[in-house]
Amino acid sequence: MSPASRTPVLAANWKMHKTSAEAEAFLADFLGRVGDPRDREVVICPSFLALKPVVDLCLQSPVRVAAQNMHDEPEGAFTGEVSAPMLAEIGVDGVILGHSERREHFCESDEALARKLPAALDAGLEPILCVGERESERDSGETEAVLRRQVEADLAGVDDAGLSELVIAYEPVWAIGTGRTATPDQAEEAIGFIRSLVEARSAEAAERVRILYGGSVKPANAAELLGRGEIDGALVGGASLDPADFAEIVAAAS
Ligand code: PGA
């Protein structure tokens, strides 16, 4: 279990799944199952188009809502993009940044992330920064070097106060959508290393920053992972699409 000072975060990354109608059907089922998890932070991350309906449906519940990406500029000639103030205006609470699928398929760079993180914080959004190594990088013993490069570069523009407000998700690329979960030892080791990187900047922020595990988290393995002291929650993809499965994962964090 996380120390009492760090409220566990259970975030549902729906990726490019669920229309607005499907999101509404999910919440009609999920909100009743999840109840009022005061000791946990539950976050739903739908597509841009489903954000507003999900925000409206979650207004009377403790469930929070985050986007899956944003542009670093508040406005401008960036066709097809969405800015942090636009997300904040409709009541969105946070934003996933640097997911490996965006790094891989959409050329998301550490330089862009270094601009996006302060922009999100400035707009009052809670960023969920994703970092993690590829399988070949783990096999060649580069896991810590990759995590160091991503964490140091992506957080370069965030001040110490901002550091303690954000959430980081350790997501080994080889575990995402593959059914291969990192062992609790592997997850704890990587998360401990990430926390040491934050500590090099600010001991207070390292104590407060929530660091999650993500990669094939399911109801069957959630309790084992979430029971570990270093793991402050989970970023869940596939299993978060099913209201019963995601509610079970939320319950496993109690
Ligand atoms: P997964 O995805 O749970 O389907 O492995 C996790 C993620 O990509 O955030």
CA of 170 to the centre of ligand 1 (A): 11
Beta-sheet pairing, 210-214 with 167-170: parallel
CA of 216 to the centre of ligand 1 (A): 6
Q: What is the pTM of this model?
A: 0.96
Name the residue with higher pLDDT: 144 or 37: 144
Query: Which percentage of the chain shows pLDDT scores above 70?
Result: 98
Q: How far is CA 159 from CA 21, 23, 122, 156, in A?
A: 39, 35, 11, 8
Query: Which percentage of the chain shows pLDDT scores above 90?
Result: 94
Ligand 1 pocket residue status of 236, Cβ below 6 Å:
yes
Give the torsion through C-alpha atoms of 200, 201, 207, 210, to 10 deg: -110
Residue 1: is its pLDDT beyond 50? no
Ligand 1 pocket residue status of 172, Cβ below 6 Å:
no
Residue 30: is its pLDDT beyond 50? yes
